[in-house]
Amino acid sequence: MSARGPIEYRDASSEIRAVFDDIKRTRQVEDVNNFWKYLAHDPATLKRTWESVKETMTPGALDAVTKEMIYLAVSVTNGCGYCIASHSAAARKAGMSEKMFGELMAVVGMANETNRLANGYRVPIDAAFDR
Amino acid sequence: MSARGPIEYRDASSEIRAVFDDIKRTRQVEDVNNFWKYLAHDPATLKRTWESVKETMTPGALDAVTKEMIYLAVSVTNGCGYCIASHSAAARKAGMSEKMFGELMAVVGMANETNRLANGYRVPIDAAFDR
Amino acid sequence: MSARGPIEYRDASSEIRAVFDDIKRTRQVEDVNNFWKYLAHDPATLKRTWESVKETMTPGALDAVTKEMIYLAVSVTNGCGYCIASHSAAARKAGMSEKMFGELMAVVGMANETNRLANGYRVPIDAAFDR
Amino acid sequence: MSARGPIEYRDASSEIRAVFDDIKRTRQVEDVNNFWKYLAHDPATLKRTWESVKETMTPGALDAVTKEMIYLAVSVTNGCGYCIASHSAAARKAGMSEKMFGELMAVVGMANETNRLANGYRVPIDAAFDR
Amino acid sequence: MSARGPIEYRDASSEIRAVFDDIKRTRQVEDVNNFWKYLAHDPATLKRTWESVKETMTPGALDAVTKEMIYLAVSVTNGCGYCIASHSAAARKAGMSEKMFGELMAVVGMANETNRLANGYRVPIDAAFDR
Amino acid sequence: MSARGPIEYRDASSEIRAVFDDIKRTRQVEDVNNFWKYLAHDPATLKRTWESVKETMTPGALDAVTKEMIYLAVSVTNGCGYCIASHSAAARKAGMSEKMFGELMAVVGMANETNRLANGYRVPIDAAFDR
């Protein structure tokens, strides 16, 4: 655990509270996750990161569960323990079934394997891919 | 480019040809990609990798384009040039529009950023995630 | 925790003690960190690593706090929990304020994001960069 | 090279041009780098990424050259060829001497080495780091 | 810990038991590791992964301890805590002495360092390597 | 290609020549690789890196070909193009057959896959591993 600790709503400046309020309203939750309580040590990064996450995670051409599964695929590849836990929960909340999780993990595993086979065999890019 | 080079169909053993034939039949293509022509130097790995890719990429709870986008998200995170080129092409062929690609990249970018913010701020996992 | 455990000064060979003594003298500390107590299982690696760290971390064209922040930026990118904890402490001891830490993390986050955007969009290197 | 190619100023929408203009004004350059010309395929990501980069790279508690060196340290660790080229150039423009580059690389190298030694020896975090 | 938990033999389907039985028989162990008990949530991935691991880890041109050390080198590079613990144990069981472990770690550390020096100095590939 | 270029023997200082001479003598080669010609821009890093590489790559409890294969496994995992090319060549020179290379790559691929499966399924470490 960090020595710096989370910043709770009751101890937060009005600048931080404004971000926390927007997270709670947008996500319909009673409290924000630890991630935001720690980022609050740098209010500028808290605000910029939340606004970027909100913009990129809003359903568009991709729906919410697909976006959460992509987030999870990246987090699993990077081995970020916090992010795997939080985005597993978020993806399930957005509708990821256990069967979908299993298939997601199978693809993530194979992609990490074949990325290294392509590296090691030094495979040149097929001309057809750029057509 | 590797000094070892691709193994073309005309030069391949019957063991290798059987895998190449199955790839061409499954994917409805006239020739296999360089990836498979290089893996062919190790027929056991060629066969095992193809069978695993075929099994994991078959549509199930997740459809083909979602699986290809997850593959691409991993490849972009790992910085595998060959895999980015091949799975960009495969995802587009499976139906990924330019708008979907843009949103995919936006999520991959944010996930890679917030993974490091979580690491650096040493954020402890919320008890709620395991409920 | 490892089954192998730390090697404490009282149990160390004279070869290991010589390195521990040099660390304590150079850093003006009463005891060495766990990192060195574990590396002590391989005295050659202990000695080589300490001498390399001492040489590279000595202030030169870059001052001590800049070097520690670069160390931390790498450790956060790699997700090494031990290294994040130890180099956060070392950077603060060398003069990193909370404001500097916040800006460091913001840059590390953006760099990890834009690295993947450059990968995914397959951006070719501008000729101007090599002039 | 990507099949999608760069979007040049003459072919850009007014939304894209507004971002390109702000980059040119802020950085005092005659044209934007390929990175921005490729991101322009997704105007929302172009705008958000530029605004985030501008905010985080503005000198504050850390000066411009320190921020560029941290960016470079991350890019080298991730092996992003484009980013290494562009941020080497940017760091030199901001005042990084060859001697500073050499020391930066030495620290990046040692951090990547010791991150793995800490992983492999499974070193537990010292209680002192959290005080 | 995951909210989903391990699947024990007594609670497993006959499909899962068949894989667990083969692991126990092949490795001559009384119970399977947590890795397999968690993968069992997706019986297809459990079966495919076990068969692939069994095929690739069988001694051939490389003996068992060399294969386990390569597995460990990758796991240490990726920072996978579970994998470092499990393959350290497996490598020792296959005959890795403490001296061999020390040399393995020294090479893994140097490789991770020099990989970044090659990236950062942007070293072009020698023509001689492809001859 | 870097704008800074290689430093050739004829243009090198006596300090750099001493390292180049030791590399040529130790490896019985007529010229040093590009890696060393680029590192020569920082003579202190050139000397320290060569001495560390020489010390760690000398056969001991592990023989030369095993050490080169471990180096290659790390380089493939990190996706370092230069390092994959140079250590493929070095491993073959040290006795790695095509069959050994195939098995090495198969293990590297599976390790990268199962590392992510362990991450994603959040598998807790078995108590037995630390006994």
Chain A residues in contact with F125 by the CB 8 A cut-off are none
* CATH of the domain spanning F1-58: 1.20.1290.10
Divide the 131 residues of chain E into consecutive groups of 10 and give the mean pLDDT of each group: 80 98 97 98 98 98 98 98 98 97 98 98 94 68
In percent, how much of chain E has pLDDT > 70? 97
Question: Is F71 within 8 Å of E119 when comparing Cβ atoms?
Answer: no
For E131, counting Cβ atoms within 10 Å of its Cβ (0-12 exposed, 13-18 middle, 19+ buried), the class is exposed
Q: Which of A105, A107, A108, A117 to mutate to test the interface with E (most CBs of E within 10 A)?
A: A105
AA identity, residue D43: P
Question: Is F116 within 8 Å of A117 when comparing Cβ atoms?
Answer: no
pLDDT score of D126 more than 60: yes
For the stretch F6-38, pLDDT in tens is 999 999 999 999 999 999 999 999 999 999 999
pLDDT score of D82 more than 90: yes
Q: What is the model's pLDDT at position D4? A: 80
Q: Which pLDDT band, with edges at 50, 70 and 90, does C130 fall under?
A: confident
**Cβ of residue F80 closer than 8 Å to a chain D Cβ:** yes
pLDDT score of D2 more than 80: no
Q: Which of D4, D41, D54, D55 to mutate to test the interface with A (most CBs of A within 10 A)?
A: D55
Instruction: State how far the Cα of B2 lies from the Cα of A123, in Å rounded to an integer.
Output: 7
AA identity, residue B92: R
* Sequence-distant (≥ 6) Cβ neighbours of residue A61 within 8 angstroms: B97, B99, B100, B102, B103
Architecture of domain F60-124: Up-down Bundle (1.20)
In percent, how much of chain F has pLDDT > 90? 95
Residue found under tokens 């490795």:
E27
Q: Which pLDDT band, with edges at 50, 70 and 90, does C4 fall under?
A: confident
Kindly state the greatest CA–CA separation across chain E. 59
**Cβ of residue F116 closer than 8 Å to a chain A Cβ:** yes
For the stretch E50-85, pLDDT in tens is 999 999 999 999 999 999 999 999 999 999 999 999
**Cβ of residue A78 closer than 8 Å to a chain C Cβ:** yes
Instruction: State how far the Cα of F77 lies from the Cα of F105, in Å rounded to an integer.
Output: 10
Q: Helix or strand or coil: residue C28?
A: coil
Interface list for B 26-55 with E (CB within 8 A): 44, 48, 52, 55
Q: What is the model's pLDDT at position B3? A: 54
Interface contacts D/E by beta carbons within 8 Å: 63
Q: Where in chain C is the domain with CATH 1.20.1290.10?
A: 1-58, 59-131
For residues E113 and D113, the answer to whether their CB atoms sit within 8 Å is yes
Question: Is A102 within 8 Å of E49 when comparing Cβ atoms?
Answer: no
Q: What is the mean pLDDT of residues C39-50?
A: 98
β strands within chain F, DSSP E = none
Q: Which pLDDT band, with edges at 50, 70 and 90, does C3 fall under?
A: low
CATH superfamily of the B60-131 domain: AhpD-like (1.20.1290.10)
pLDDT score of C1 more than 50: no
Q: What is the model's pLDDT at position D1? A: 39
Q: How many beta carbons lie within 10 A of that of residue B45, not counting itself? A: 22
pLDDT score of C94 more than 70: yes
In percent, how much of chain A has pLDDT > 70? 97
Q: Which residues of C54-77 are buried (b: 16+ CB within 10 A; e: fewer)?
A: eebbeebebebbbbbbbbbbbbbb
Instruction: State how far the Cα of A88 lies from the Cα of A66, in Å rounded to an integer.
Output: 12
CATH superfamily of the E61-131 domain: AhpD-like (1.20.1290.10)
Instruction: Search chain D and give the residue with CA nearest C60.
Output: D103
pLDDT score of F113 more than 90: yes
Q: What is the mean pLDDT of residues B91-96?
A: 97
CA B108 to each of CA A76, B60, B71, D62: distance values in angstroms, whole numbers, following the listed order: 12, 23, 12, 27
CA C4 to each of CA C37, C50, D114, F88: distance values in angstroms, whole numbers, following the listed order: 11, 20, 18, 33
For the stretch C21-32, pLDDT in tens is 999 999 999 999
E-contacting chains (≥3 CB pairs under 8 Å): A, B, C, D, F
Q: What is the mean pLDDT of residues F50-73?
A: 98
Mean pLDDT, chain B, as a whole number? Answer: 96
Q: What is the mean pLDDT of residues B51-62?
A: 98
For residues A60 and B60, the answer to whether their CB atoms sit within 8 Å is no
Q: What is the mean pLDDT of residues A71-82?
A: 98
Q: Which pLDDT band, with edges at 50, 70 and 90, does B1 fall under?
A: very low
CA E108 to chain D, closest CA, distance in angstroms equals 7
Chain D residues in contact with B105 by the CB 8 A cut-off are 42, 45
Q: Which pLDDT band, with edges at 50, 70 and 90, does A4 fall under?
A: confident
For the stretch A24-38, pLDDT in tens is 999 999 999 999 999
Q: What is the model's pLDDT at position B113? A: 98
Mean pLDDT, chain A, as a whole number? Answer: 96
Q: What is the model's pLDDT at position B4? A: 80
Q: What is the mean pLDDT of residues B50-78?
A: 98
Question: Is B38 within 8 Å of A119 when comparing Cβ atoms?
Answer: no
Q: Where in chain B is the domain with CATH 1.20.1290.10?
A: 1-58, 60-131
pLDDT score of D55 more than 50: yes
Of the candidates B63, B39, B34, B61, the residue with the CA atom closest to the CA atom of residue B50: B39
Q: What is the model's pLDDT at position D3? A: 54
Q: What is the model's pLDDT at position A1? A: 39
Q: What is the model's pLDDT at position B96? A: 98
Instruction: State how far the Cα of E8 lies from the Cα of E5, in Å rounded to an integer.
Output: 9
Q: What is the model's pLDDT at position E130? A: 79
In percent, how much of chain F has pLDDT > 70? 97
Chain F residues in contact with A88 by the CB 8 A cut-off are 122
**Cβ of residue D78 closer than 8 Å to a chain A Cβ:** no
Question: Is A61 within 8 Å of B115 when comparing Cβ atoms?
Answer: no
CA A41 to chain F, closest CA, distance in angstroms equals 28
* CATH of the domain spanning C59-131: 1.20.1290.10
AA identity, residue C25: R
B64: number of CA atoms within 13 Å, CB side?
11
Q: Which pLDDT band, with edges at 50, 70 and 90, does F70 fall under?
A: very high
Of D104, D117, D129, the CB nearest to C70: D104
**Calculated CA dihedral for residues B74, B75, B78, B79, nearest 10 degrees:** -150
Q: Which of D46, D54, D57, D62 to mutate to test the interface with C (most CBs of C within 10 A)?
A: D62
Query: Which two tokens mark F78?
Result: 């990190």
